[in-house]
Structure 1
């Protein structure tokens, strides 16, 4: 409270005795209304420094100020009432509609005959709008029950191969019971990186919680939903492998994972503030050192216990880790071709019992291929991954041999090439079925680069040799085409087999003598000189005429 001079205190006490309001006293004296309120409380309470004669700075004020009133204010002092009080119900109804003070004031003037000013309405609305501070319940969790995860920004780190610094992404996973955390920085994030970071956190803690609370970022949640959120498949498979359930927080509700939010802020403000690192590995090494020597040994402000001690208490309650780590994969949607296979990396894999023309989900691991039903998610087939492109992983008893419209189209085009090409294509289809149609398309496509006669002859030779292969037909066609070109050049007098160095011909009936070419060049030069001189003279005459 500001200390007023004796004469100012006397003025305030006099105005209070006359029943003036705080606002009127502040306007008359120029004293801040808060100070007036404080002195009004003292005046009403009847407090005094001494019952005797005042001395010191208060002596003058004691001589001027009137006697102190009794402890309770007299009943005759009027209480100021707002002009908006008769319209309280109307104003409260408008506030429930979320209307502002200006709109309410305009309606009061138009429909209620309000005679006051806008400031009266604004002050009255401000009192009605007064809200209690928002309160949050403090939640308690069992050991090993919940883990919260989120991304933040790390410290500036040197970008490899450049001389500039950039902030990587800071991943923090915090156990809710003990507040123990795992911290790691990465340059880029993706669905697989997000899943790998969770796996590292599980390995760091030596066990898995019951569920993990995450934000609705795209690496973890494809489609946010309060009841059935859609997780990205790699992240969902990783959590299923470790027996953990995902619990995405409600959209725009960061307080649900306030523990990890606080952990990120603590890391940025304490561990990484003002630091720079020369590599991402150096920053991760520093974070591990800081977590072990400082963050884990701190006394938590709410629990009043050491974080490491609480983690040792929580560790036995974490679920055991599986023996094998997560095997990551790429996922894609494929259409089952008419040979009952799906194409993955230029290889064919059997997809039965999926119907021809239906769509399936394919998971591509490092060593195997899995095919799932698109709607039910049931596993249909599993195959070892082919080592070479073009491999067909299809049992003989599952091959389809009845011709389709595509088969008839290929055989018709083969018949247009020649008799032998048609016969070879029919034999290939009879041996391999629809899965061999790719070879048939290759044989038919040779006519785009080579004559049909060469292709048909190559098919005839392949039939004689008993080698029914597109590669064999292609090699024979190239050989026949090269022989045909050599024969054409041989008929023209050339020697395509042993080419010789070109020799310039000096004597021929069409070649004139050298002096004739010299006379031609001299005549052309004289003609060009004469033409240039005439052009210059004409230009000069025209210029002179223009000046005249």
Structure 2
């Protein structure tokens, strides 16, 4: 049997190009009767076996169907698979192939479905403030000249159709938590329910029916905002069809052609603005009103946000001897006082916080990528007190972005004897009074022309010394009754007496 592409070529070459049957048969290595036959073929042809014989299944088919009929009323988890049913028939004496059993099971299950409802759906109606649908999509963008694949979180209020989208470098739980914070701030409130796929960052386990075991950290978010999480039936995307359609529309509206921005912050500001602009379109169910007008009605029904959820994922880690902790393939510095200790690492979508006993001991902007070292040089000052030589080649200090005047003083002081220790003392002083004060002291030192650590320290003390009061008020008892008079002749008198002796 020829495929339809060859049949179409035969008909096109003979009926359109007026090529002879002999030429077509010779070129396609076919017989002329075959060519003549397929010149009459218009509809798709193909042999489909209407019934697959299963002679060995025979009398066992009734047993198999009775098992299937009995088990159809059991929960899905308790029903036997085709493989288990095959093993059961073998114990009854069946000696045929597994394929026959599998085919019979499939045909029996298909026959149980009412043909009239296949592909049919129930239209859904939502009231204001009732539900919001959530989904992720994958897009291509240019961030600071680098084309990369990003993840976009989609929210859609089911009644008003108001959408909100926000972009992230990846799809992780802290991103999910942050996206909800942003969405509720954008909407100005929280709906009663949020509808999800069975995301691993949201659902830990799918149980019987609609029962789910949700992730504990995600449930902390739901309990904070008091919304009900609802997970769709697997492979039933129509249960959140609005946001499914939104994914395709947003790709066309916002990411075609490719979006180009300097940073994720600028991209997300633009996306938020575009979500408001697109709300000027007509509402799909209420053509006389816009999405924005319906949103204003729905906003009044949303639950107000009392406070923002702390959207981080926490893990306990031990600080290395080099004062670093490893997070997501990158390393971040910790104050040297905590080397070797266990700290709580709180991973947010855009930052890393290190906490001990509820106190934040360090904070860094989050980096994405691999094998990056993120230092705060001030974390290593206690180490410099004991090892000042590390100032010259220590990784945290090599690319330290110090003010220009401070760099100039450093370069000159380090060339002097014991200059590394002297400059470390300046840094220790700056930790107390601030880097800006050290910068001013260095500028004054450079102006005077004598550049040493002692001169800079003297300028620091002058800058930080408390101001002297113009007049001191004293109680009456401490006031002098007779104020002394300056008499320089007394010194001459004393000098004269010494001269006589």
The normalised TM-score by structure 2 is 0.42
The normalised TM-score by structure 1 is 0.38
Q: Which structure would you say has the larger Rg? A: 1
Higher relative contact order (CA 8 A, sep 6+): 2
Instruction: Decide which structure has greater strand share.
Output: 2
